[in-house]
Structure 1
Amino acid sequence: MTVLLLALVSCVVVNAQLPQFSNGQVKGYISTPIIDEASGLAASHLHEGILYTHNDHGDAPRIYAINATDATLVAMLTIGSGATNHDWEDVAVGPCTPGASTFCIYIADTGYSSANDDEANIIYRVQEPDSLTDQTLTVDSTLRFSWTEEESQAVMVDPNANVYIISNVRSGRGKFVKLPPVWGQAVPTNVDSTTILPILTSHHDPTAADISPDGKGLLIKAKSHIYYWTVTDGDYLTAVTKPFQELPYIHESLGEAICWDYKSESYFTLAEGHYKPLYEYEPVTLDEVSRVN
């Protein structure tokens, strides 16, 4: 009896420490036909309640700022300085450089359609604008790399301005790579990794990922699942080799975008297509979980 009681207490303590989230709630529907292949999502660190998204390949090099409360379009940000949307797959927001007080938008031109292009496998870095109006942003710098993988649909930036990507592969067991900070180099740097995601899916995955602004939470999205890791020491490559927690997800056809909110509390998802819903998954307390159960 004592052993059983200790096991039950241990289970309760562990579950209490794990984050709990509500089922997704529709915040609103994308209000413009311009956004029809939303392939990435990231929360602004400068403008509260703003999310950045972009279309997959085929669109001009543009980022769209949308309102997180109702999914309406706030501003269209054109990326200048010769940037091209060969196959933009994801976007992230983080410090521009280690210890910087300025924040940047990181855009991953890393998709399959650009894999054999000389200008492919580029991370564009642009500073977040002070005001959200339709405007053209100058590229702050670029990070060019080469690797053996066909594509990545997930880019992340941690609080120390480190950039990570994950290869998109059949089964989801992609390579998790920390890119070297070789910003501004004209010649691509070859990258590789021995860190393999421990997930197993029946699709080409993952489709998106995000590191929380406080650096303590890692979300990786597959076509039909969302995986979560708590990271207390900033070592994301080691963290993903450990057991994960699966979080609530309302299945979206062609769902390829996920991000934390700016407070590192809720997470959002958005799918490709016209007038798609923006879902928010909010944290719930242990008391709320108990009432539901």
Structure 2
Amino acid sequence: MTVQLLLALISCVAAQTTGPQFQNGKVNGYIEETFIDEASGLAASRLHDGILYTQNDHGDAPHIYAINSSDASLVSILTISGAENHDWEDLAVGPCTQGSSTFCIYIADTGYSSANDDEANIIYRVQEPTSLTDEHQTLNVDSTLRFSWNEEESQALMVDPQANVYLISNVRSGRGMVVKLPQVWGQAVPTPVSSSTFLPILTTHHDPTAADISPDGKRLLVKAKSHVFYWSVPDGDYLAAVTKPPIELPYIHESLGEAICWDDKGEAYFTLGEGHFKPLYEYLPVNVIV
């Protein structure tokens, strides 16, 4: 049996494995702002109920957009002072440091354009704003984590409850490298990273395009262009968890879908695609009555 056939069988079995049950996606609203046209990341706020953060990838200024998860309306534009958007591919929200009660937004400047720029391959850490009452506000970079590797790019960033940062490389077939970054915040010289852990999936595109760890750390989502995969991680060992076959969850295909996140309770998940006037989809557990 070839490796390709084995991986295809794994993906087929995973889709039929018993696991959490979610309803098909429902449209909560549409992104009306034309300047949000390459939404490549999505993350749920831990300080503000019903708020999601998103960002454009390469070509935009260093902006994060706070949107309302119930109708996709824009709440605030956050300008990140001290950062540059070479190719921002994903966002995550988690504690700023292990044991901290302060939450940060993590920004992955890790796209293809970043890999070809000596000043990029950076994770920016920015403290969540305590208020979103202003339509425009500026946030300062709290710290940066610089790294180097042999992968062309990553579009999938995750942060666990202990403030550990994970990336998954974006490769043809989706079998990306999963790496846990060392906690070397603030170093000017990039730290080389590598891993022997690869996703056990098989796709026909360059994947994955996004990922997220639930706020309690026990659930993991990985989004490919045409699929959403799920792993249960009861012990917090994400590298070990992703070596096992995933469960496939409902997903309404988006032509350029590159963003996914859990809600702030880790119960439902959202997806958002690139382009103008894209819908924000919410996938609720089956026991929720809409």
**Same fold by TM-score, threshold 0.5 exceeded?**
yes
Which TM-score bucket, shorter chain as reference?
Answer: over 0.9
Cα deviation, 1:238-268, whole Å, max 9, x if unaligned, reads 0000121000000000100000000100000
Distance 1:35 1:255 in 2: 14
SS in 2 for 1:265: coil
Alignment size in residue pairs: 271
Matched, 1:214 2:209: no
Partners of 1:73 and 1:274 lie apart in 2 by: 14
1:158-186 Cα distance to aligned partner (Å, 9 max, x none): 00000000000000000000000000000
**Cross-structure match for 1:201:** 203
Counterpart for residue 261 of structure 2 = 259
- 2:49 corresponds to: 48
Matched, 1:94 2:94: yes
**Deviation digits for residues 28-56 of structure 1 (CA, Å, limit 9, x no counterpart):** 00021110100000000010100000001
Q: Does 1:150 align with 2:157?
A: no
* Equivalent of 1:135 in 137, 159, 163: 137
- 2:101 aligned with 1:108, yes or no? no
- CA offsets 1:214-254 (integer angstroms, 9 cap, x no match): 11110000000000000000000000001210000000001
5+ long unaligned stretches in structure 1: 1-13, 289-293
Which residue identity lines up with residue 153 of structure 1 in the other structure? Q
2:58 alignment counterpart: 57
Partner of 1:235: 237
Amino acid at match of 1:62: H
Distance in 2 between residues matched to 1:280 and 1:270, nearest whole Å: 9
Corresponding residue of 1:121: 121
- 1:72 is aligned to 73
Task: Give 1:120 shift.
Answer: 1.1
**Residue identity opposite 2:142 in structure 1:** D
Aligned amino acid, residue 90 of structure 1: D
Shift of 1:26: 0.0
> 2:241 corresponds to which letter in structure 1?
A
Q: Which letter does structure 2 place at the counterpart of 1:244?
A: P
d(CA) in 1 for partners of 2:144, 2:113: 19
Residue 113 of structure 1: SS of its match in structure 2? helix
Distance in 2 (CA, whole Å) between partners of 1:206 and 1:114 is 17
Structure 2: give runs of 5+ residues left out of the alignment. Answer: 1-16
- Rg larger in 1 or in 2? 1
Q: Cα RMSD over matched residues?
A: 1.1
Q: Percent identity?
A: 78
Aligned to 1:37: 38
Q: What residue is the counterpart of 1:4 in the other structure?
A: none
Cα distance in 1 for partners of 2:121, 2:114 equals 7
- Runs of 4+ residues deviating >4 angstroms: none
Aligned-residue offset at 1:284? 1.1
Counterpart of 2:228 in structure 1: which amino acid? I
What SS does structure 1 have at the residue aligned with 2:197? Answer: coil
